[in-house]
Structures are given as C-alpha cells and as structure tokens.
Chains A and B, each alone.
Chain A
Amino acid sequence: MVEMSARRIARPSKSALWAALMLGAGVPGMAAALEWNLQPAVSSIAHDIHGLHEYVMILVTVLFVGVFGFMFYSVYAHRKSRGHKAEQFHENTTVEIIWTVIPAIILIIIAWPVTKTVVAQKDTTNPDITIKVTGYQWKWGYDYIKGEGEGISFISTTTTPRDQIEGRAPKGDHYLREVDNEMVVPIGKKVRVLTTAADVIHSWWIPAFGAKQDAMPGFIRDMWFKADTLGTFRGACVELCGKEHGFMPIVVRVVSPEDYTVWVSEQKKKLSATGGESMVASVAQDELTQRGAKVYAANCVACHQLSGKGVPPAFPALDGSKIVLGPKNDQIKLMLNGKPGTAMTAFGQQLSDAELASVITYTRNAWGNKTGETVQPSDVKALRQ
C-alpha cells in the first residue's frame, strides 16, 4: 500500500501483539505477510495517533486481562461441580465506590495526551501550500489555491481497468489505489487541505498521514498534514457516496522541494496548452470520436456502461436516448450543468470544452446512435454560462 524510499519491513507493534495474546487469535506466522496494524506513519499527527493507539491498547489490554482473570478464576474455582457453595453477599459500598472512581481516574489519564493531539490536529494556521479538494461522483478534483503551484488544477480519476475489476485481467500491484493525476506535495511543508464536494458527501483520507476529512457539498472544511517521508501514499474515499464509492482512490506523491518546483512548471505548461484547445475552429469527427471514447471510458462508463445501455432506471441508457439523439444544444447543456437529484454531475466543472465536445460527438455516433453529427469545442464554449 505504501512504498517509501526506504522500505520498512512490516513489524507488528506492541499493541497488536498484546491484542493477539489477549484473545489468542494472533497467528504469528502470518504477521509478516498480513497488514494488521496502522500503516507506517509519515506525518507528526499520524505518529501521535500511533502512539496514542498503542498506549490505549496496552491500558485496555491490562484491564481486560485483569477483569477477566477474576472471572475465569471464578469459572475455574467456584463451580458447583467442584462442590463450591455459593456465598450470598450482594453488595459492598466500599468496593463499588472504588470501581467507580478508578475508571474515572484512568479516563483522565487517557484524556490528557489525547486532548493535546486534538488541538494540534485542528491547527490549520500558517500553511505553506493550500489545496482545495473537491469530491465528485466518483473522482477527485484538486485546485492548488495558495503557495507554490497556485493555479494548478486537475481532476484525478481511477485508472484501474474494468477488466481487472471484473476478473478478465490479472489485478495490478496498485489495484483500486491508482489514479491518472496524482496529487503532488513537497516534503516537510505544511499542506492545508480544504475539502468540499459537488454532489454528495465524500471523505478524503490518506491513512499514512492520519488525515481524514469529510467533503461536504456546499461547505468548505479544512485539515492539514506535513509529510515527513518521500514516496507515494494511497487511500480512498471513505464516505459512502453511491454506486462507485469503492472505486474512488486518492494518491499523493511526496517529492523533494526541487522536484516539486519542476512538477509545478510542467503543470503550468500543460494548463496553458489546454487553455488554447477550444480556440481551434473545427476538429475532424474521427479525432473527436477517438478522444471521446477515452473521455467516455474515464468519466461515463461506470454508470452508462461500455455498451451504452446504462443500468436503468437510476443510470439511463445512452444508446437510443432521446437526449443523445435530440438537439445537440440540449445534450451540451445537460453535460455542462448535470441533472440535480441524480448522480449526473455537472461536467462543465470537470472537463474542458474540447473533452466535452469529443465525448458528446462520441455518444452521438456510438452503438446504435448514427447521427453523423459532430459537436465542436466552440459549440460547448458558446453554451457555458
């Protein structure tokens, strides 16, 4: 899941061992092969979380063994078959006060270090870089809005092929945890992440950073992380967001400040290149449908299916659809603005004019749809509000 520059050997932590001993469910031979504890921490907050988790696990394990030590002793020694006669005591105020007060004291002992971490976790002030993350059904949008890289903006979609998901091809190393555009951040810089969503609630999580924040449609929330290890870190959406919730990965690449500067300049170049696309007056139909097929595979196929048959009624068919075969302006408007109350998102926010023109041209000429019409980027541009 996590590759780091210096790969660590998975080693079960103290708490995990305790847990295994305590319940007799640990299988030591499997410990090395199986992930059974928190992923290695690569941020200060994640380190804190690991420490707290071990601390609490040790505490509760001791309590568990203590309490049930008494119980199992009783099960062994006070059984009728051993001739034990029941005593009839049924209260003892002193004992009862003691076992009310002691847990309360233990809670205070736990609460102190935890409170410090809560406060640190919430301190999103003075970031080096601020990135807005937008959840869409079912992909992520990243906008670098402050600090080095300001103005970079891209959509990040899963690249795991349907063939792997549906068992027609062997699964890759990063099955379900790979994307076309990774979020890139420099090492050792405080990154403030603003989360929001365009449709339903999503939740952005990189386990190794200990950073998780729900993305609320119509609201901005924030959190922060500072990665202390180079490498690629992987997570996924963790709030149920509809059909493709399980196929919405998040990948963050932590690079050196120098590499980050290089990456930023590459992205800026790309941005200015795509900005010019819609200026081209006319694109040939072949070129549009070819590109459209790719856009379709990345954005539409999950709901409307490769066959264009959809999964009615929630996800209507495009093959033979009245909208696809109707006036092209209606289809462009639907693509730009989405359909409220359904999973049909407003693609105007995610795709360029050229991409929209391509995919619309593709749908109007794929499967049984033979309109022979093309939609040009300029048509899309004209209808953007």
Chain B
Amino acid sequence: MSAVLDNHAHDDHGHQGGYGGMMRWITTTNHKDIGTLYLWFSFIMFMVGGVMALVIRAELFSPGLQVVDPDFFNQMTTMHGLIMVFGAIMPAFVGFANWLIPMQIGAPDMAFARMNNWSFWLLPFAGSLLIISFFVPGGAPGVGWTMYAPLTVQMGIGMDLTIFAVHLLGMSSIMGSINIITTILNMRAPGMSLMRMPLFCWTWLITAYLLVAAMPVLAGAVTMTLTDRHFGTTFFNAAGGGDPVLYQHIFWFFGHPEVYIIALPAFGVVSQVLPAFSRKPLFGYASMVYATSAIAILSFIVWAHHMYTVGMPVTGQLFFMYATTLIAVPTGVKVFNWVATMWKGSLTFETPMLFAIGFLVLFTLGGFTGLVLSLVPIDIQLHDTYYVVAHFHYVMVAGALFAAFAGIYFWLPKWTGRMYDETLGKVHFWLTMIFFNVTFFVQHFSGLAGMPRRVPDYPLMFEMWNKISSIGAFGFGLSQLLFLYIVLKALRSGEKAPELPWEGADSLEWTHLPTPVPYHSFETPPVLK
C-alpha cells in the first residue's frame, strides 16, 4: 500500500493535516484514500468469510461429522453470509464509488468529506463485533444470515453483538449513500449532464437510493429482534400476538433490494469494462439507465418470493410470482445490450475483459436459475435446498465478485500508475472461473436431488457432489491468494503504466487526468465539449 502513496507524495500538496503513517489513514478525508481503505477492508473480510466457507466445505467433504460440531457449523454459515454480504461485497463497491465517482463526473472530492471518513471507520468496528461474537459465551449466532425469528431468541449474547454490528453497517451504508447521491446530483462538472455520466455513476446513484430506502428497514427488523430478546416485546411471538412471518416480510423487504444493491454497481463496472475492450460505445446507454431504474423499482415489490413456503394465500403467491418474473425483462435488456456492445467491436481479452465476459455468462446463468426459482411450484420444491445456494452464488460471486475483479484489474493502472502482470492476471481468471464452476455448478444437482441447505451432514446419496464442490471450493479459495500476490506485485514492482493504459477507455478519469491520478484531482472543473 505504501507504494501507492509514495508515488503521489512528491508532486502533491501533501496530505491533509500533515499527518503521516497510521494517523493519515485515520484522519483522511480524501476520496481516493477512503476508496483504498474500503477496498482493503473488503479484501480482508473476503479472506475471513472465505476461511469460513472453507470450514463449511471441509465439514461437508464427507457424510458424518468430522471437523466441527453442528452448532459451530451453523455459526459458520451465518457469519460467512453476513461477512461476505456486508463486509466484503458491499464495501468493495463503495470503494469503487469513492475512487471513481468524483473523477468520472469531474468533481474534486465527495460532497461530505468528513462524513465519508466516518462511514468507513464504522466498518472495522462492525466487523470486529461480528468476529468478537465467536468468543463470547454461546458463540456467534447460528441462525443463518437471514436471522429468522424466533430462533434468534434462543441465541446467546453473540446475537446482540451481531445486531449492533448490523446497526453500524447500516449507518455506514446510509451515510455513504447520502454522500454519493449528493455528490452526483450537485457536484458534476459544467456540461456533465446526468445522461452523459458514465453508467457506473448511474448504477451507483440508483443503488444509493435503494440503500437509503432499504437499510432502515433492516435496522427495524433487527431492533425488533433485540427487544423481543430482552425487553419482553412479542413482535415475532404468536403467544403475545406477534407473528414470526412478520420478521420475514420485514427482512426481505430489505433483502430483495439488497440483492440489487450488490448487483447494480457490478452492472456499472461491467458497463465500463466491456465498451473499453470492445473499442465501441456502450450499446443502448439510455435503455441501460431505464432498465436499471426499472429493476430498482421492481425490487421493492417482489420480496415475498423468498417466502413461498410460509403459507401465503394463492393470490399473494401469484402476485409475487408475476412481479418477480417481470424483472427478467429489464435484466434481459441489459444482457442484450452488453452482447450488442461487443458485437462488431474490435475485441481484446485482457484480464478485466475476461472477468467481464465471465460475469456476463455466469450472471446470466444465475439469472436463469432465478427465473426457475421465481415460479411458485418449482420454488416450493427447491426452496431451502442447495439449488438456491448455487443460484445465489452465481449472482453474488460470479456476478458481483467477478465484476469487482474486472474493476480492480481495469483501474489499478490508473490509480497506482503501475501495471499488473497480465499473464498472472489471466491465470487468476481461469483458475477462478474453473474452480467457481466446479464448486457451485454441481450444487444445482444436489439441490434438485433434495439436499437441504444449512446442514452439517447429509445422506450418502449426496456424497459425490459434495466432494466435488469441496475440492472446487479449496481451489477457488487458494486462487484468491494469487490475486493478492498479483496486486502486491503490481504495487511493489509493476511496470510503469502508460498514460492511457486501455485504448478504448473514454470516461473523464482516463481522458482528463494523468496516470497515476494525482492525490487531488479536478480542483478546477474540467472543460467538457
């Protein structure tokens, strides 16, 4: 990391407050520093959550209990989910937003620079609470990342720590979102109309609205859980007039928009990368904006498709099924637009492009299994099986994570002034691509055949799929150490990046700023033709 800083230290106005070392990072209000903090934090959480995934896969390698006891297994599935969603994927894209949005719209920094610092520095505390919960009596909660009532009432103090962690994460996300919305709406350079913004800014603008609307709902759900646990309320307890299904409605009213909170910024990254390596403008820019907005709006009226088996009336099931299938229309528009962007371009296949194509193919596959799951009768059969696990890892890992990798390889030269090792990058892509599919494709089969999710042990008939999946998972996990090596190698000894590392890249950060970008950029707004 220090290599990044050294590049800038000489030709800049110096760092605010004159702090160096650790204090510089704690006090920084610079959007690039904060973006870097977000990205490193998310990578650390990605490793922590990844180790948990490997504990899960190690236990599931063979039938029977070998590695962990069932209670700890449940803690692993819970924390793997929470840490990956809230600690790894979401902060990664907030990191991209911090780095890129000011530069892409020609602004000097984020609108609320100090709040930006606070948004980030809440995260390590939230992450610590999650990890500390393993060391309190009773351990971390073993309730699944969805934290369904009333199982939550049976948990130890680790549940309370998790609830507070969710509160902190929510505050961080809401502040980050207010910052992004304000920055985009008020700080665009003269001439940068909304419909001229790079699509990445658009997807983040819409995502930020989703966050502001959805995170308080989650905070409400976990607060009600907290008062049910300690203050005698019975929101989710039938004995006191409550209803456990109420929790699920509230949770998924947050939870489904959350899916798009994760997916939309990934769409944004891919919409920058594909045109750059196709040397051709993004096809259907306007329809991309409309499709993104349509997905965001629809995401608020489909939540109960996660709950087809709770016993809804038939009209409820039909409404949520029809609304859910409708999402396929704007999502389809996006996929067609991406393919049309590549069509008759002049394609090259550097690592960012490989990850973007990997995203496109596998995310679409995950979208299709989503369509299968949206249909009530099929979902009733597959709900809470490994088919669902396979489905959401296709959209979360092959979707969001692949896009994040594409983004890192794409912008790293611009941010640091150094190239990564292209050969190693391609090796990283192919290892990730192959092991991802080895891990998760077979889970479709074990799910169809009837293997429930969140179980530490299973009947012998599922053994072969689980063995394959576990081998894939370890391969996938180890491949990510290569990614760390590639990034560190680029920072330490990477070749100097050319002024325009990718000939097809055309947004402001590429065309109007030197490589590497200076610590302070666009102190005077750029002149746009």
Residues of B within 8 A of A383 (CB): none
Residues of A within 8 A of B376 (CB): 114, 117-118, 121
Residues of A within 8 A of B458 (CB): 176, 246
> Chain A's nearest CB lies how many Å from the CB of B74?
7
> Chain B's nearest CB lies how many Å from the CB of A210?
5
Query: What are 26 contact pairs spanning A and B, CB under 8 A?
Result: A1-B449, A38-B381, A48-B377, A52-B378, A53-B381, A60-B372, A71-B361, A79-B346, A84-B344, A87-B344, A90-B282, A99-B333, A121-B376, A121-B377, A122-B314, A122-B317, A173-B460, A176-B63, A195-B311, A214-B310, A217-B237, A218-B238, A219-B238, A219-B243, A243-B70, A342-B154
* A330, B217: Cα distance in complex, Å: 43
Contact A200 B150 (CB under 8 A): yes
- Answer whether residue A35 sits at the interface, using C-beta atoms and an 8 A cutoff: yes
- Complex interface residues of chain B between 122 and 157 (CB less than 8 A to chain A): 137-139, 142-144, 148, 150-151, 153-154, 156
- Answer whether residue B264 sits at the interface, using C-beta atoms and an 8 A cutoff: no
- Answer whether residue A314 sits at the interface, using C-beta atoms and an 8 A cutoff: yes
Contact B142 A74 (CB under 8 A): no
Tier of interface size on chain A: 35 or more
> Chain B's nearest CB lies how many Å from the CB of A185?
19
- Answer whether residue A165 sits at the interface, using C-beta atoms and an 8 A cutoff: yes
- Answer whether residue B456 sits at the interface, using C-beta atoms and an 8 A cutoff: yes
Looking at chain A's contact residues, is the secondary structure mostly helix, strand, loop, or mixed?
mixed
- A118-B314, A166-B65 known; A238 and B346 CB under 8 Å? no
Contact B371 A56 (CB under 8 A): yes
- Complex interface residues of chain B between 434 and 452 (CB less than 8 A to chain A): 437, 441-442, 444-446, 448-450, 452
Partner of B378, one of A56, A103, A107, A199: A56
- Answer whether residue B482 sits at the interface, using C-beta atoms and an 8 A cutoff: no
Partner of B329, one of A103, A111, A117: A103
- Complex interface residues of chain A between 31 and 76 (CB less than 8 A to chain B): 33-39, 45-46, 48-49, 52-53, 56-57, 60, 63-64, 67-68, 70-71, 74-75
> Chain B's nearest CB lies how many Å from the CB of A219?
6
Which 7 pairs of residues, A with B, have the shortest CB-CB distance?
Answer: A218-B238, A221-B311, A246-B455, A35-B449, A36-B445, A86-B346, A207-B450
Given contact pairs A34-B445, A74-B347, A121-B380, enumerate 13 new A-B contacts (beta carbons under 8 Å): A45-B377, A79-B346, A84-B346, A85-B346, A96-B337, A111-B325, A165-B64, A203-B384, A212-B383, A216-B243, A221-B310, A240-B144, A314-B156
Contact A38 B280 (CB under 8 A): no
Number of A-B contacts (CB under 8 A): 307
Which of B4-12, B94-102, B398-406, B461-469 has 4 or more CB atoms under 8 Å from chain A? B461-469
Which of B164-172, B195-203, B283-291 has 4 or more CB atoms under 8 Å from chain A? B283-291
Binding site for A on B (CB under 8 A): 63-66, 69-71, 74, 137-139, 142-144, 148, 150-151, 153-154, 156, 229, 237-239, 243-245, 278-287, 309-311, 313-314, 317-318, 321-322, 325-326, 328-329, 332-333, 335-337, 339-340, 342-349, 357, 360-361, 364-365, 368, 371-372, 375-378, 380-381, 383-385, 437, 441-442, 444-446, 448-450, 452-462, 464-465
Partner of B239, one of A90, A166, A175, A218: A218
* A98, B36: Cα distance in complex, Å: 42
Residues of A within 8 A of B284 (CB): 90-91, 96
- Answer whether residue A119 sits at the interface, using C-beta atoms and an 8 A cutoff: yes
Contact B238 A103 (CB under 8 A): no
- A35-B462, A52-B377, A99-B333 known; A75 and B457 CB under 8 Å? no
Residues of A within 8 A of B325 (CB): 107, 110-111
* A45, B378: Cα distance in complex, Å: 10
- Answer whether residue A213 sits at the interface, using C-beta atoms and an 8 A cutoff: yes
Residues of B within 8 A of A88 (CB): 280-281
Contact B452 A236 (CB under 8 A): yes
Contact B65 A212 (CB under 8 A): no
- A103-B329, A218-B238, A238-B385 known; A117 and B150 CB under 8 Å? no
* A146, B229: Cα distance in complex, Å: 38
- A34-B464, A78-B346, A84-B346 known; A243 and B381 CB under 8 Å? no
Residues of A within 8 A of B348 (CB): 79-81
- Answer whether residue A270 sits at the interface, using C-beta atoms and an 8 A cutoff: no
Residues of A within 8 A of B239 (CB): 218
Partner of A165, one of B65, B365, B378: B65
Q: Which one of B137, B361, B381, B464 has the greatest number of beta carbons of chain A within 10 Å?
A: B381
- Answer whether residue A182 sits at the interface, using C-beta atoms and an 8 A cutoff: no
Contact B456 A246 (CB under 8 A): yes
Q: Which one of A174, A236, A342 has the greatest number of beta carbons of chain B within 10 Å?
A: A236
